[in-house]
Structure 1
Amino acid sequence: MRDTRRGPEPVSGRDPVWWSGGLDPVRPLVLVVGGALGGGPECVRLLGRLVAHGYAVVAVRLPRPVPCAECTGAFVSRLIDGHAHTADTRSTRVIGFDLGGRPALAAAATDPRIGSVHLVGAPVSRLFEEPDRILALPPMTVDALVDATGAAGGEQLPYLLGGLALLPEQLYEIRGQVWVGHAPDDPLTAPQDLALLKLTLERSVFHAFGATGGTTPRGGPVHRWLVDGVRGAGSPAR
C-alpha cells in the first residue's frame, strides 16, 4: 500500500491531494473533498479510520480560486481517473464537506463509478441562487469562505459563488445513494436545499445533527456517521 502525507493547505494546479492512505488496487476508493469549513486537518482521524476499515482514502482541497473549472463534477471524475490503478474505483464513495459537496453531487450525476455521496453541511442551490445571502453569514463563515475561494474580500463572494446552483434536472440523474448530514443552524445548508434533495434524489438518507452554534457539523458524531455511511454503502473487498 502507498500513502501520501502533505499539509492540508489550499492548493492550485492539477494535484490537490493533501492526504492519502491505504492505496491498493483491491481497496474501494473513498474520495474526501474538503471545503471552507470542514474536510481539513480535523479529519485526519476520520481518514485513518476509513483506511483501517479497508478503504483506499484520498483527501483533497478544492483548488483556488473558486469557482473555476475545478468546482465541477469533472474535477471529481479526474481524481477518480487518477487513482484507477491505485484503488478499486468501480464503486467510489465521495465525501463532500460544505463547498466540496457541490462537485461531489455534480460528479455523481454523470459518473457511474460513484456509488454513494456523503454530504456534511453542503450548499446545493439556495446560497448560490441568492448569493447576497452570503454577506449575512456569520463573520467566521465569511472569513473561511474568503480563504477557501481566494476571494479578495467578503464583498467578492457573491460574484464568485453566484451561478453555482445545482438544477433539479442534474440531481434527478444521480443513481447512487446520497447521505445528507445537516444541522438546524448550519449556515450553508438552507431548508430549501434539503427539500430539493428530498424531491429529486432517487435514493437518500438524511441525518440531523444537533445545533452547532452557527457552523457546519463537525467532530466525533459526524465522523462516526460518515464511517457508518461509507460502510453501509457497500462492504470493502477483502
Structure 2
Amino acid sequence: MTEPTLAELADFAGLHARAQGLDPGSVASALARIKAGGDPTAWPRTWSELGERQLAEGRPLQACRYFVLARFPYPADDVRAAAGRSAVAAFDTWRRRQGGIERREFALPSGDVAAWTANLHEGNPVLLVMGGIISVKEQWAPFLTSARRLRAGVLVTEMPSVGENTAPYGKGSDELIPEILDALGARVCAAGVHVVGLSFAGHLALSSARHDPRISSIHTVGAPVSGVFGDPAALPATTTSTLAHLSGGADLSGMALTRDDLARVRVPVRYVASRRDEIIPRREWELLAEHVADFEWVEFDDVHGSPGHLADTRLWLLRNVLARLGDRRATVLGLLLALRGRTGRGGLTRVAP
C-alpha cells in the first residue's frame, strides 16, 4: 500500500479546510510550517496545536475543525487518534453551549455508532447526513444548527470504521443505514428519510435504498458506483490507504453496484459531479443516469468534491433537499442558481417505473 505524499494530503485537506470555513491564511501558514519541518509527525502536531490554541481562546467549534485536520485522513498514529478524541470533546463543549443538539449512541448489530441529532421528533421528516471515508460527524455542524429552519429532524453520523463508528467497512456495510433507522423507530421515520451521503457514503445510501423503503431520497457529491471498487489501484494514495485502513485490507470488489442494483433504486437521486474528479470517473455517474429511475445531476469543471464551487454545491444540494421536503424555498434557490449561471450544467433522467 502506497502512503500519500505530503503534497497529496495538503490538497485533500485543503478541501476540508475550505468546507469548514477555516481561515485560508492560517491554513496556508500551517501547511508551510509542516512542509518546512520534514517531520512525519509535524502534520498532526501542527494542527493539534492550532486546535488547542482555539480552545484556550474559547472557540471550541473552531478548535474541533483544526483537530479534524490533525487526524486527517485517519488515525494512523497516537497523535492523530488523540486529535480525533479532542475533536469530539471540543464539539461536545460547543453543542452544549449551543443548545438543541443531542448526542445519540446506538449499539447496532454491525457495531457501535454515535450521532449528533437536532429537532428529531415524530412527525418531522428525517435528514440523515453522513460524510465520506475521511469525514467525521463533527464536520456537519451547519446541518444541525439549520434543523429548525429546514423543518426537519437531522442526524449526522459516520461511515463504518470512521470516527466513533466501530463497524468494519466492506461488503455488508449497506446494512448500517437500515440499522440506524431501525434504532430510531418507525414513528420517527414515518415522514420519510432523506439521506445526504457524501462520496463513499453516497454509495452506501444507493446500496441501502435498493431494499429499504424508508429512504425517500438521496443527495450526494461524487459517489462511487462500481468501477472504483474493481480497480482501487487507480485511486490516489490517500484514498487507497484510507480504504485499506477502514476495511482491514479486505477485498472491496463485491461492493460494486450492478446495473440491476441501480435499477432497484426507485427514489430520487441528486448528484454533484466533478469533471476532473481524480477519484470518481465520469462513467460512475453515467451509470446512474442510465439505470436509476429518477436521477438529476449537475457538473462542475473541478476536482473531487468540487472545492472551487462550494457555494454552488451547497445551494444546489439545499435546493434539492428542500424540494424533497416540499418546501417552497426550493424555488427561490433555483432562481438564485439560475442567476449564478449554475443551471443547465447537468441533466435529468427519469425512467418510467
Q: State the TM bucket, normalised to the shorter chain.
A: 0.7 to 0.9
Tell me how many residue pairs correspond in the alignment.
219
Contact 2:135 2:158 in 1 (8 A): no
Partner of 2:224: 123
How much does 1:2 deviate?
Answer: 6.9
> Which letter maps to 2:252?
L
Identity of aligned residues (%): 24
| Per-residue deviation, 1:50 | 4.0
Distance in 2 between residues matched to 1:38 and 1:51, nearest whole Å: 24
Residue 274 of structure 2 contacts residue 301 of structure 2 at CA under 8 Å; is this kept in 1? yes
Gaps of 5+ in 1: 7-11
The Cα offsets for residues 21-40 of structure 1, whole Å up to 9 and x where unpaired, read as: 11110110111122214464
| Counterpart-to-counterpart distance in 1, 2:306 and 2:115 | 22
**Separation in 1, partners of 2:205, 2:324:** 16
Judge which range, 16-25 or 79-88, deviates more: 79-88
The answer to whether residue 138 in structure 2 is matched with residue 41 in structure 1 is yes
How far residue 197 of structure 1 moved from its aligned partner, in angstroms, is 0.5
Q: 1:46 offset after TM fit, Å?
A: 3.2
- Cα contact 2:210–2:261 (8 A) shared by 1: yes
AA of the residue aligned to 1:106: S
Give the counterpart of 2:306 among 194, 198, 217.
217
Per-residue Cα deviation, 1:114-134 (whole angstroms, up to 9, x for no partner): 111111111111101223323
Q: Deviations over 1:37-70 (max 9, x none)?
A: 446433211342244211111112122231153x
Question: Which structure shows the higher helix fraction?
Answer: 2
CA distance in 1, matches of 2:190, 2:278: 33
Deviation of the 1:99 alpha carbon: 1.3
State the structure with more CA Rg.
2
> Which deviations, in whole Å up to 9, do the C-alpha atoms of 1:182-230 show, x marking residues without a partner?
2122233221111111110111110123413xx4235443333222211
Aligned to 2:234: 133
Shift of 1:146: 4.6
1:84 Cα deviation from its structure 2 partner: 2.5
Q: Which has the higher strand share?
A: 1
Which aligned runs of 4 or more in structure 1 are off by greater than 4 angstroms? Answer: none
- Structure 1 position 91 matched with structure 2 position 180: no
Alignment match, 2:272: 181
Q: Distance in 2 between matches of 1:47 and 1:3?
A: 7
TM-aligned CA distance change 1:195 to 1:150, over 3 Å = closer
Structure 2 Cα separation of the partners of residues 188 and 86 of structure 1: 38
List per-residue Cα deviations over 1:8-31 (Å, max 9, x = no partner).
xxxx96342331111110110111
Counterparts of 2:247 and 2:255, CA distance in 1: 16
What CA distance in whole angstroms lies between the structure 2 residues aligned with 1:85 and 1:170?
A: 25
Say if 1:47 and 1:33 are closer, same or farther in 2 by CA, change over 3 A: same
Matched, 1:108 2:209: yes
* Separation of aligned partners in 2, 1:44 and 1:108: 25
- Inter-partner Cα distance in structure 2 for 1:233 and 1:106: 20
Q: 1:78 aligns with which of 172, 176, 179?
A: 179
Residues in 2 aligned to 1:68 and 1:169: alpha-carbon distance in whole angstroms: 17
Equivalent residue number for residue 67 of structure 1: 170
TM-score, with length taken from structure 1: 0.79
CA distance in 2, matches of 1:86, 1:51: 19
Match for residue 18 of structure 1? 115
Q: Secondary structure at the match of 2:193?
A: strand
In the TM superposition, what whole-angstrom CA distance separates every residue of 1:83-128 from its partner, at most 9, and x where no partner exists?
2266343421011111111220011111122111111111111101
**RMSD (Å), alpha carbons:** 2.8
Task: With a CA cutoff of 8 Å and minimum separation of 6, indicate the structure with the bigger relative contact order.
Answer: 1
AA at the equivalent of 1:172: A
Cα distance change on mapping 1:28 and 1:181 into 2, 3 Å:
same
Match for residue 202 of structure 1? 293
